[in-house]
Each structure stands twice: as structure tokens, then as C-alpha cells.
Amino acid sequence: MLGNMPGYARDPLGFLTRCSREYGDVVTLRFPGTLAYLITHPDHVEQILVKNNRNFIKDKYTREELSILGNGLLINEGDFWRRQRRLAQPAFHRRRVEAYGETMVAFTERLLADWRDDEVRDVHREMMRLTLEIVAKTLLDADIAREAEGVGEALGRIMDYFSDQGSGSFLRMLPESVPTPANLRYRRAVRRLDGIIYSIIEERRRSGKDTGDLLSMLLHAEDEEGNRMDPRQLRDEVMTVVLAGHETTAIALSWTFYLLGKHPEIEAKLTSELEEVLAGRSPTVEDLPRLRYADAIIKESMRLYPPAWAIGREAVGECEIGGYHVPTRTQMFISQYVTHRDPRFFDEPEVFDPSRWHDGRTQNLPDYAYFPFGGGPRLCIGSNFAKMEAALLLATVAREFHLESASGEPPVPQPSITLRPRGGIGMKLKKR
Ligand code: HEM
């Protein structure tokens, strides 16, 4: 009755990896009332995300798990999605994003001023707080330092809720509207986030200021009939950029610091690059083209631990993939985690080796063998923002601190909506 659910729920990453390695590029999975295909080959990924993207919408699990985002950009579809994407796009243009660099570095230095030599901190928690403050400041011109703790706690509850959902327990399979303790906790967490988002919007509306940032663009946008966005849609868009815009980058950095702590020889190469390029000063956007090794480190960290570890789609019409018939309403499951570790595309796929991005080994990689930001029309709108932020934050922190694991146990990835380290990553801070 439960089909593949128990195997999946026990260990989603291991289960999907085994399925793909044992059964090939297209694997049928059965979940209660649902037919799903696991798709691993880059050509098939490209077919779904790019070439035949019009035949697919977001899958039903994404729609359900991200219901907190309402009808925001991430799960919106069709003409309305296209309109909203066009509206938000200017805030993410390369030029515009480059102007955020200074804030990113300044906020990081403000955080580092509180870090003490030999202190142990949960680096995931620190990065979540930092990236939240950055996204709020740059895109919404809001100072969210006071609320950061509350947002972090509410988000933690939401992630736990979804990573426990496949656990097969009867209570967890009841719909969200049934007042089980877990559902009540979830709803409380959503209300808390809503309160914060609505107050940011309200404050700006009251001030009447047009600061030219994303929030102003959304507040002042008008459709052909001159109508402004209704308050619910505005809330959905702001909630989307706040959540999508900080959680993933924080995860990328957390795994990066963990990996650097485990590989002192790679960290040493990074610090010598930082010394050479920065010569003791803070990094700026102009330095980024020369911080090539830092860039490779982040790329490699997102290969092993892709913050968005899976992308789902639902077929709206039948089609064929890899010689297999895909019936209408099939849930297509694409996993960066599985494809990024496929030995056909990456030699020694489990090894953290940033040099592979510079020494020619990845030169002939198929386009969708590595796709941490997705692809096609639904490509992450914040990919330039995220790449720049990750590089600047890594350089700013690594210049001042060496981080080493405070526990003998490696952190365990928690495949919920994103790939968080379960329980965080305790690291000892060593001032350079
Ligand atoms: C390392 C950091 C990030 C990763 C790995 C990441 C990953 C992704 C992926 C894979 C998608 C596509 C999902 C799909 O096709 O179903 C996506 C979409 C999206 N991301 Fe990101 N993201 C990151 C950072 C950001 C940032 C910084 C922002 C905003 C400030 C952002 C905002 C969005 C939005 C709004 C969408 C939906 C776009 C649309 O459908 O039109 N992301 N992201």
C-alpha cells in the first residue's frame, strides 16, 4: 500500500542514489496514490527543465511543501508567473546585484566582531542569521536583526515538519488542516513568519518611500489596467525571496566551512589566494574574478551538498523520456544530489576536490550534470546574487578565522525542502 515510501522515508538520499545506480537513468517509484519517475541523466534533466519545459509544472510535493509561499514566484505558473518574474527581474540584474556587495561584506564583518577565539558556534545558525539580514537589507531595505532569532526558529520547525512527513507515521500523514500537535506547531511557525513579513510591508507602505529596491518595485508595479498587487500576492512574493533568498546560501556556506575544516590542505590554498589577492584588506566585488580558487571551493561544495537537493515537476501531458512513456500527471523527480555524485560524470565523485573545476577534468561535462540552480525558464532568479554572496562571505570569514569541527561526528544532511545539516554544525573558531 505504501509502495516505495518506507524505503524512501528511512534514508531519502541513499534510497534515491541506490535506485539510480541499480536501475538506470529512469526509475519508476510508487508512492501512495502516486506514480513518480526518478530522472538522473543530464540529457533527460535538460529535456524536462529546458527543451520540453512547457509540458511540466511544479510537482505536487513542492506545491504542498511550499504552500507557505502561497502563489509566490517559486510555485506560480503560466502567464501570471511570467509577469511576476519580469517584474522582479530588474532587482537581480548583475549590475544591481554588484551594488549589494558592500552590504554583504559589512554585515559579515559586523558578525565577525562578535566571534571570539576558541569559541564554539553553530556555523549553520550563524550563516542563516547573516544571510537573512543581508537579503532583508538588500532587497527590502529592512533591518531584521531583532527578528532574526524568531525567523530562524520558525523556519527550523517548518523544515523539521517536512523532513518528518515521509516518516510513515499515521499522524504525520493527516492533512495540514487536522489539529495534530505537529500541524499546530507548523501553523504557529507560519503565523510568526507572516507577522514579520506583513510588518516589513506595512512599514514601507506607511513611509511612502520609493527606495528603488525589490519591495518598492513590487509595491508600485501596476498591471495593464493600472491595478496594484493585492496584499496577499505581495506577502507571497516577499515571503518567497526572504526564504528562498537566505536559507540556500546559508546552507552552501555551512557545508563549505565544514569541508574546509576537514581538508586543511585545501584551506591553506584558499588562504594563500586571499593573501595574494586582498593583501590584508576586505574583499570587494572587483576582487571576485581573481578569487578563482574560492569560487571553485563553493562550486565543489555545492556539488557534494547541493542546498536545493532535488527539483520536482509534474507532467501535464504525456511524453517520452529516455525511451520510456511518461503518462500525464507523473511526478518527475530530479535530484542534484544523485546526479552530482554520478561516477559517469565525475571521477572520484565522493571526494571534495575543488581543483577538478580548473584542471580540465570537468571541461566536457554535459550541461546538466551540474545544476545547483536548476535551469531553463525557472532557473533560480537569485543565482548571481547567491554566487557573489557566497564568495564574498567565504573570503571575509576565511581571511579572519580558521574553523575546525568541534565534534568527532560528521554532520548528517537532512533532506527536507533544502539540504540542511541536521542539528547544525558546531565549529571551533580560531582567530588568524
Ligand atoms: C546557493 C544558493 C541558492 C540555490 C542553490 C538556489 C537554488 C534554486 C533552484 C534549484 C531553483 C529552481 C527550482 C525549480 O526549478 O523548481 C531556484 C529558484 C528560485 N530561487 Fe534560488 N537558489 C539560491 C539562492 C537564491 C537567492 C539568493 C534568491 C533570492 C534572493 C533566490 C530566489 C529564488 C526564486 C525567487 C526562485 C524561483 C524562480 C522562478 O521560478 O521564477 N534563490 N533556486
* Centre of ligand 1 from the C-alpha of residue 117, in Å: 35
User: Which secondary-structure segment (H or E) carries 271?
Assistant: helix 264-278
* Centre of ligand 1 from the C-alpha of residue 145, in Å: 23
pLDDT score recorded for residue 260:
98
- pLDDT bin (cut points 50, 70, 90) of residue 164 is low
Tell me the best of 81, 303, 380 to mutate to test the pocket of ligand 1, counting ligand atoms within 8 Å of each CB and taking the most.
380
- Arithmetic mean of pLDDT, 258-269: 97
Residue 66 Cβ inside 6 Å of ligand 1? The answer reads: no
Residue 214 Cβ inside 6 Å of ligand 1? The answer reads: no
pLDDT score recorded for residue 74:
95
pLDDT score recorded for residue 165:
54
Asked if pLDDT for residue 166 goes beyond 80, the answer is no
Neighbour-count burial for 287-304, b at 16+ CB within 10 Å, e otherwise: bbeebebbbbbbbbbbbb
pLDDT score recorded for residue 162:
74
Residue identifier of the C-alpha nearest atom 27 of ligand 1: 245
pLDDT score recorded for residue 173:
56
Residue 415 Cβ inside 6 Å of ligand 1? The answer reads: no
196: three-class secondary structure by DSSP: helix
* Centre of ligand 1 from the C-alpha of residue 410, in Å: 27
Mean pLDDT of the chain: 92
Amino acid at 163: S
* Centre of ligand 1 from the C-alpha of residue 386, in Å: 9
Residue 418 Cβ inside 6 Å of ligand 1? The answer reads: no
Residue 39 Cβ inside 6 Å of ligand 1? The answer reads: no
Collect all residues with Cβ–Cβ distance below 8 Å to 52 and sequence separation of at least 6. 319
Residue 385 Cβ inside 6 Å of ligand 1? The answer reads: yes
Please tell me the distance from the alpha carbon of residue 87 to that of residue 81, in angstroms, as a whole number.
10
Q: Within a 10 A sphere around the Cβ of 317, how many other Cβ atoms?
A: 12
- Arithmetic mean of pLDDT, 194-212: 89
What's the pTM?
Answer: 0.94
Residue 339 Cβ inside 6 Å of ligand 1? The answer reads: no
Residue with cell 567565504: 394
Question: In terms of DSSP bridges, do strands 120-122 and 426-431 run parallel, antiparallel, or are they unpaired?
Answer: antiparallel
Asked if pLDDT for residue 151 goes beyond 90, the answer is no
- Kindly report, residue by residue over 352-382, the tens digit of the pLDDT: 999 999 999 999 999 999 999 999 999 999 9
- Kindly report, residue by residue over 382-408, the tens digit of the pLDDT: 999 999 999 999 999 999 999 999 988
- pLDDT bin (cut points 50, 70, 90) of residue 99 is very high
Among 197, 206, 209, which residue's Cα sits nearest to residue 234? 197
